[in-house]
Amino acid sequence: MCTPNDRATWRTLLGYARPQRLTILFGGALVLLSGLAAAAQPLAAKALVDRLGSGDGITGLLALLVGLALAGAAIAMVGDYLLERAAESVVLVARKRLAKRLLSLRVPAVQRTEPGDLLSRFTGDTTLLREVCTHALVALVTGSVTTVVMVVMMGVMDLVLLGITLAVLLVVGLLALAGMPMIEKASHAAQSAVGETGARLERVLGAFRTVKAAGARGH
């Protein structure tokens, strides 16, 4: 169930992605098109095998199969490039906003926070934002559409295969739902640990001469 906090998070993420929405939409459309080309390859391969069994010519189907593979790879490459470019633009804007926000803080607010933690958040969290605002959003849509298309195609090709596929998808979906809370908890813990490590390292480097004079060594 989507909580108000989750909705606010999604609004924030979409706000970062909105300036690059045209690039993301175009890149996502290309990725989806490449996925559909990949989904059509089993049908072409099945038709090719049937044609071989009947002894008819296979030149046209073979060219179609090769064309689908090459076109899918080329389209996917262009789509990935556009998404990567949009992702870097999102990170750049996020870091500029965060830097402006940090510089506008009052001195007591900064003193209550470890500088190392702020630096790790500035670099690490914005890098995660790059993945979520572009690749994750596109993968959510394209993956859903491609899965539906593949299921329909399996139903056309073999009903037994369709039943097995649906059963596997159901099991995987239930396992994913069960594991999501643990993954979210572990992700928050990892980010907190990164911030704490950055803060400790910043303190050590700030007193590096004293640390070396005391004979401390890394283990």
pLDDT tens, residue by residue, 117-172: 677 777 777 777 777 777 777 888 888 888 888 778 777 777 787 788 788 888 88
Confidence at residue 5, expressed as pLDDT on a 0 to 100 scale: 63
Report, as an integer, the average pLDDT of 81-101.
Answer: 84
How many helices (H) and strands (E) in the chain? 9, 0
Q: Which residues of 172-185 are buried (b: 16+ CB within 10 A; e: fewer)?
A: eeeeeeeeeeeeee
Residues 200 and 89: their CA atoms lie apart, in Å, by 31
Confidence at residue 208, expressed as pLDDT on a 0 to 100 scale: 61
User: Amino acid identity of 47?
Assistant: A
CATH number belonging to the domain at 4-209, selected among 3.10.290.10, 3.40.50.1820, 1.20.1560.10, 3.40.50.720: 1.20.1560.10
